Amino acid sequence: MSEEKRISRRAFLGGAAALGGAAALSGLAACAPTAQNGVPAPGGNGATGTPLDTAKYPALADSRNTTIDWLGTPPDVTPADCAETIEADVVVIGAAVAGELAGYGAVKEGAKTIVLERNGTAHISGSGVGFSNSRYQIEQGLPEIDKYELFQLIFNQLQGRCDQGLLASWVWHSGAVLDELEEVVLQPAGLPGTAMGEVPGPEKKFEIMQNLASHVNFDASGGDNLEVFNNIVHDWIEANGGEIHYEITARVLTQEPDGTVTGVIAQNQAGDYIYYKASSGVVVASGSYGGNEEMLRAFANPWLANYAINYGVYNARVTETSPITTDEKMDDGTGHKMLCWAGAVMEQTDPSFQSWEDTGYWWWPFLQVDTEGNRFRNESSSWLDHTHLIAELPAGVNYYWQILPNSDFDMPSTLMPMPYKVWGENVNAHDEVHTADTIEELAEQIDIDPQVLRATVDRYNEICTSGIDDDFGKLPKYLSPIVDPPFQAVKAKCQFYCTSSGVKIDRFARVLDKNWHPIPNLYAAGNTVGWRLGSGYQMTVGGLCNGWAFFHGYVAGKSAANHDWTFEDIGK
């Protein structure tokens, strides 16, 4: 076996067998702090660090739930066991938004790049992508946003729970990345982005959901998904010398004795091991751990874990032309485990997560009641950033009921000016809709105590008449009384989509160990990265999770290919 060191089961447990499981990570030596991009590593003095007590980061010792060994041990395989060795400068794990942008960034730097994807096609992830002050957005008529204000609003909406360096680099530089992609990839392919959204005027004052900046939609047909965009970026990578190896699943990273990452051992669908040797860097962009029940139980509060496990659709955003081809569960946390086996540190607070409303009126603030018929929130707040209010409901379900007014009231939308004018309009064919002549009859149809729903509607109508919602603080313009029959209830279901939590990286996408020192030649982006989105989503910028995946993927690919790369090089 060469000097390259795989963290095998034996090495992983060596010196710490009595601790067992993830606690063995305390026996791993911290990596030597290294400088990159002209920025010295934290505490870097050129010396190899010493391990810290795992009590500083409990998830490395026993995770939140001490009975769950979420980390397990890496597969007992070495490069010598592999049927084939393939060499590259940069290897990227994952080919969704973060991975493909990492592939683009590395190829743009002239690196021999291979992207590994466990599926047979590009995986569609989300819809629009958020950017800050790109030239392209401004040319389409959106006003330039004050970057300091944007930073403040996002940071506050995330409850102060995000890495300020990651946020600042996105605020100040993401627009330039979009401009580069527009010029190099999208315009030549005939797929210019369309700036969406608007900057709110005075009428948005006091709104809970402030959409300060916009996202960009890359579907030329007018739809809102990333399928066409993903395929175009994949085509560009392959046309410019990069390779995308589909139906290849990464299993474990390889390292030198000093911790430097040297490659990844993966498997093809036949079960054969392949060693992808990376001379410059490995980027892990393998997605969420929302499909891993053990990790959810270990890191999340019980209500969130139950919600995610029972109502998860982590294989969302796939189509007939981009299907799931692997038999393995998607978003299974494999990337997180590989990173932690290599010495990375996981975010310790409740994992942020994303959830999408599957039925009902997505953006209209109608009266909303829980399964017992009680009003439970300010309906003008977005379900994107307040899904936890639904997931935490005692009933443990993933739905609530929207009670619609049947009147001439012109209900505005909280997202954009789309007034509700026609009763029953825009309800999808798969929605569960109930209609009745009385509130009591409606309650019986939706299995709610008629007296409870009657009391809720009466109280809501009092609020609408007074124009003051001192129950939940809903703005007067959204207060539409429920007075005229027929009455309608629409079931609004929310489905868990993914976690947005993971390992610590610095602003150059270098993965950090528990001492917050970079692990040499190891990078990460997308939903494998933590310290980004607080405890849930935000709505200052639509598509921010994809925006960060896009931006940090680009940064990771550039940094992995060129250790002297800086943000000033964007567009060159």
Dist CA 242 CA 115 (whole Å): 8
Dist CA 416 CA 420 (whole Å): 12
Dist CA 503 CA 208 (whole Å): 30
Boundary residue ending a domain (497, 522, 556): 497
Dist CA 438 CA 374 (whole Å): 17
The DSSP letter of residue 47 is S
CA count, 13 A, side-chain hemisphere, 327: 4
CATH number of the domain where residue 117 is located: 3.50.50.60
Task: Compute CA distances 363 → 305, 360, 385, 412, 544, whole Å.
Answer: 26, 9, 12, 9, 18
Note whether 463 and 511 are same-domain residues: no
Structure tokens at 252: 């474990």
Tokens 């310790």 correspond to 348
Chain centroid to CA 398: 20
Domain membership of residue 181 (yes or no) is: no
Provide the residue type at 270 as one letter.
A
Boundary residue ending a domain (468, 497, 526): 497
Contacts (Cβ under 8 Å, ≥6 apart) of 122: 95, 96, 100, 227, 230, 231, 234, 322
Query: Starting at the edge strand that comes first in sequence, how are the strands of the sheet with 194-195 ordered?
Result: 129-130, 215-217, 194-195
Note whether 463 and 403 are same-domain residues: yes
The DSSP letter of residue 244 is E
Quote the pTM value: 0.87
Note whether 116 and 242 are same-domain residues: yes
Note whether 301 and 442 are same-domain residues: no
CATH number of the domain where residue 393 is located: 3.90.700.10
3-class DSSP state for residue 265?
strand
Domain membership of residue 71 (yes or no) is: yes
Domain membership of residue 169 (yes or no) is: no
Note whether 440 and 526 are same-domain residues: no
Domain membership of residue 185 (yes or no) is: no
Note whether 404 and 541 are same-domain residues: no
Note whether 245 and 339 are same-domain residues: yes
CA count, 13 A, side-chain hemisphere, 203: 10
Boundary residue ending a domain (450, 473, 497): 497
Which neighbouring-strand residues pair with 435?
488
Note whether 397 and 329 are same-domain residues: no
pLDDT of residue 254: 98
User: Minimal CA–CA distance to 529: which of 387, 346, 316, 362?
Assistant: 346
pLDDT of residue 272: 97
Domain membership of residue 52 (yes or no) is: yes
7, 252 Cβ separation under 8 angstroms: yes
pLDDT of residue 125: 66
Structural domains of the chain, count: 2
Note whether 511 and 551 are same-domain residues: yes
Note whether 380 and 437 are same-domain residues: yes
Domain membership of residue 433 (yes or no) is: yes
Note whether 558 and 457 are same-domain residues: no
Domain membership of residue 468 (yes or no) is: yes
pLDDT of residue 29: 31
Domain membership of residue 345 (yes or no) is: yes
Find the angle CA(346)-CA(349)-CA(352) to the nearest 5 degrees.
90
**How high is the mean pLDDT in each 10-residue block of the chain (572 residues)?**
35 28 30 41 32 39 60 93 98 95 98 96 77 88 88 90 95 95 92 71 71 74 75 95 97 97 97 98 96 91 90 73 82 95 89 85 88 95 81 90 82 60 50 93 98 98 97 93 93 90 96 95 97 84 90 98 96 88
Note whether 245 and 99 are same-domain residues: yes
The DSSP letter of residue 45 is S
Provide the residue type at 36 as one letter.
Q
Cβ count within 10 A of residue 394 = 9
Residue 94: give the domain boundaries: 5-123+229-352+501-569
